[in-house]
Amino acid sequence: MSEQERRIPEATVARLPVYLRCLVELADERTPTISSERLADMAGVNAAKVRKDLSYLGSYGTRGVGYDVEFLLYQMSRELGLTQDWPVVVAGVGNLGQALANYGGFTDRGFPVGALVDVDPDKVGTSIAGVIVRHLDELPELVASKGIAIGIIATPPTAAQSVAEKMVEAGIGSILNFSPSVLGLDPEVSVRKVDLAVELQILSFYRRRADGPASLGPDGPQR
């Protein structure tokens, strides 16, 4: 990397996890190299975009051979900060919070659930997926002692803003918001909002097209 890190466009960043998932599959199958065309197919984007995206990581592949899967996987993991663990705290252990705490996919991917917090006295002290639920007020100590990097909000919408503020006060700089509310926070805090209805809207787009008189055939996304 040169003296200044390149600015990677946000849209490229959003595609990196998709490439990563493809590369993990390829590495599992012991595929040594991959062409930009095949990676593009797997990721559901076009090959020119794959080449452009990977060039931001400093990866250019070898003409006629493609990219080395293991090396690209390493580069991608490093770029995504996945060569280290980022413990998360889940705030709110209703059904969604419990589902997230039990979701094996987080730990596997380097995001172990380091802490769970709630304000309900019936929940504080119980154990979910091996983690004891603590009171929200203990957040600052938990962040410090467990090295929490990311806060996940799974509270009712009415509590989301105050919980987010408590996370920021406790030193958390990255928040994943599952509640339907929009958070107003210092712009230095990275916030991503997960909207579970978005994927349904995308499906309904393809569904409507398929039902319509001018059907375009089976052009829905396959992954």
Q: Residues near 93 by Cβ (< 8 Å), separated by ≥ 6?
A: 101, 116, 117, 118, 123, 126, 128, 133, 154
Least Å distance, CB 134 to its own copies, is: 19
Phi then psi dihedrals of residue 48, to 5 deg: -65, -40
Contacts with its own copies, 65-104, as mask; x by CB under 8 A:
--------------xxxx---x-x-----xxx-xxx-xxx
Least Å distance, CB 97 to its own copies, is: 8
Of 137 and 180, the one with the shorter C-beta distance to its own copies is 180
Least Å distance, CB 142 to its own copies, is: 18
Q: Residues near 113 by Cβ (< 8 Å), separated by ≥ 6?
A: 87, 88, 89, 90, 100, 101, 106, 107, 129, 131
48 near its own copies, judged by CB under 8 A: no
Indicate which single residue of 64, 105, 121, 130 sits in contact with its own copies (rule: CB under 8 A). Answer: 105
176 near its own copies, judged by CB under 8 A: yes
Number of residues that bind its own copies (CB under 8 A): 76
Amino acid at 138: E
Contacts with its own copies, 7-26, as mask; x by CB under 8 A:
x--xx-xx-xxx-xx-----
Residue list 27-46, contact with its own copies (CB under 8 A): 44-45
Q: Give the C-alpha separation, 66 to 51, whole Å.
A: 10
Residue count (the chain) = 223
Instruction: Give the pair of three-digit tokens for residue 211.
Output: 């039902």
